[in-house]
Structure 1
Amino acid sequence: MPDPNELLRTARERTPSRRAPGEQMSRAELAEAVCGWLWETTETKYELDGHYIAKLERGAVRWPGAAYRAGLRFVLNVVDDADLGFVAPGGLAGTDPEPGTSSMLGLEDDLVQAGDESVALLALAEESNVGDLTVEQLHADIVRITQQYLRTPTRPLYIRARAIRDRAFRLLAGRQPPSQTRDLYAAGGWALTLLAWISVDLGRPDVAESHTRTAWACAEAAESDDLRAWVRATQHTAAFWQDDFARATTYAQDGLQYATGSSTLFLASVAAVDLARTGRHAEAREALTIAKRTTVRTDVPELGGPFLCTPERAEGIWSDTHLALGEAQRTLEHADRGIAQFEAAPHAVRNFGSERMVRLQQAKAHLQLSDLDGATEAVSVVLTTPVEYRVRPLIHRISEVAALTRLSRHATDPKARALHDSIRVFTRHPASRATPSK
């Protein structure tokens, strides 16, 4: 008989009922809340019920699907699967129980096809004089996707962004009032930029560039400086993850002329990283000084998610710059400050994707300072990342941490070998091979 999942039961019982004040949340109510949240964030209907929650609490199922785990984490207000007693087969929380199956199965082809489709739409974006109609719902959907990115399974969000793109261009192909054309182009441009960002995270920055070319044309047609800035930021990111730091620098610096809100802080900060990685250290230091002095306007609406640069996200970028400049202690100072700010942020708006990357900056700095215990502590948090959120940049960065553990000064240390081995297990299961959502 399986052991009961006391962590899940305790988490449910400490969560107040939304129907009966003073009572704990019932299994049926928990199931309903999870399904409601999944519908709200993915527009996908799930059939979770109280009987399945009972099976989870009895321990009959120890590793529910990615969507259910995400919903339960949200409703019960926890960060990690392990906090709910979920353990993947093999005993390692957060690892992939079925490497051969995937909720992202076939998405590789979808990524390429979507990129090709975006290229095909380029001519329309550049040349169309067709009108537009009110697209408030499209923009609301875009906001919802950005705010849920890396907080819910990726595939439904990807499909939704693609649908927004296609609907925007279908409307542009019709006859709408010319006065509203810009809004429709903006909706299409933001959806394309989302598709590009997702493509980078899933390991296809080359496909991302197909989306951003058409997104730029949309931004031009919409005359939207905010969209122009974030398209350039996304183009920078695509070039960066192809190790083309010179081109990334050009995109970042060009985007600054359009930046208004937090895109100003993001672009100024990443420009410093790019310059440092190209060996232009004097220019990098100057750019870093400017970035640290940047004040973000608070009167500019922000979409959230990847299109929002908070102070803690900026701290992480600055730590990366100092690392590229060979300044491990300064790297650690900024990374520590960024992590403290991430941890203090409300759960609903906390950017866990950026936070994980900053923790790896912490680990690198600790390793360069020969502090294996500090590096292990920083990495241990990242190792709990659910499989569906192990995006390619995260896999790339944690692999760099593993490489640092093999340096001669650490090579014979048992702690370094243990850290290296734990990262190897983690990297075998990237997000593109996540478990099926149920």
Structure 2
Amino acid sequence: MDITALPLYQNFNDINKVDPSYYSRYDIKRGLRNADGTGVVVGVTNISNVHGYLMSDEDKVPDRGRLSYRGYDINDLVSAAVEEDRYGFEEVAYLLLSGNLPTTDELAQFQRAIDDYRDLPDGFTANYVMRPPTRDLMNAMSRAVLTLYAFDEQAEDRSPKHEVETAIMLMSRLPRIMVLGYHAMRDKFYGDSMIIHHFTEGEKTAQTILSMMRPDRKYTELEARVLDIMLMIHAEHGGGNNSTFTCRTLTSADTDPYSAYAGAIGSLKGARHGGANNRVLGMVADIKDHVANITDEGQVADYLNKIMDKDGYDRTGLVYGMGHAVYTLSDPRAVICHKYAKDLVKNTAYEDDFRLLEIIEALTPQLMAERGRKKAICANVDLYSGTVYATLGIPEPMLTPIFASARIAGWAAHRFEEIVSGRRIMRPAYKKTGASRDYVPMSDR
């Protein structure tokens, strides 16, 4: 059926445009943001704190970025895992779900529960991951989560027991679904071999991802530990980020956990949210195409100015990986990512790329200040994460899915809190504009 003659999309922008003057006239908080960029407070949470500025006499004062999970500083959580020579993501996930750090026995039991759920239902891989394969793994993961609803006889149960078990099950299975979906995509669209590795019992999430992803199943301890740190810093980031707020909004409507988590995955897919790390990799590739020496600050500065002039990369004027809605002087996740990635990239093909990112982080605030920007700007976690994953040999289509595999822990914690403490459906208001119109009979149109 040809619908090109119908005025359904030719005037798409005109039909859907709202006069921007209404936003200031009615003091609309676009994006739930105040005029100074701070978020509109819509709830309270005990789960985490994202700190990036201070308020003094109603002025926003830049401050060093801090991130805490259940009151524990993320730097302390990561440092303890590194110093004690152990993996930390499962400990962080337990902390987010339970509210407390686990004992040795509690952590071991939690790991066993994760192992017990790794296996997918009979026929799930063949019928729901491989058929039909999709070019986007985030869509594949969202679809798989919704499909798992059909395998749960108590899917509509809102009891604490079912909620916790569902969260652990998805935390266990999402990494496996991600890897299987990737290999199915490569097989279908690129002619690669379909690889299906069984998981190894007792392996941590970071080990499981690398082991199932690689044809030879081999990985170094450094690679697994760095990936584990990435999972830790991506596990949670407050209730106001778009995907977590999506999860809480869906939960407030009293929908099932599968629908809430699938919606959160859909949100995280967005290029303005979790998909931003892919934009950084694209920008780095573009800079390498246009700058003779990417470790020369002068040459990089010249091209960054072209990017800001909308004469380079994607012509948006944005330097991807720089700036954040909350953080001003520093993003603690970016600081951690930079710290532990240094050894990983040493003597690899990505060493110069990493140096380029350091130059971008140092120069961008200066160049923006020269252009009159007064607000503080810092590197965000996306600046370094893409290159870290590339160094680990993780393909670009898996970058945001790995983010989702970690963030399911934070989403679950916020869903639990919304169930117990929210108890009211999210229902913000929209101001109607435009005049009323009288109905026109069909014969007079």
TM-score where L is the length of structure 1: 0.30
Which is helix-richer, 1 or 2?
1
Q: Which has the higher strand share?
A: 2
Between the two structures, name the one with larger relative contact order (CA 8 Å, sep ≥ 6): 2
TM-score normalized by the length of structure 2? 0.30
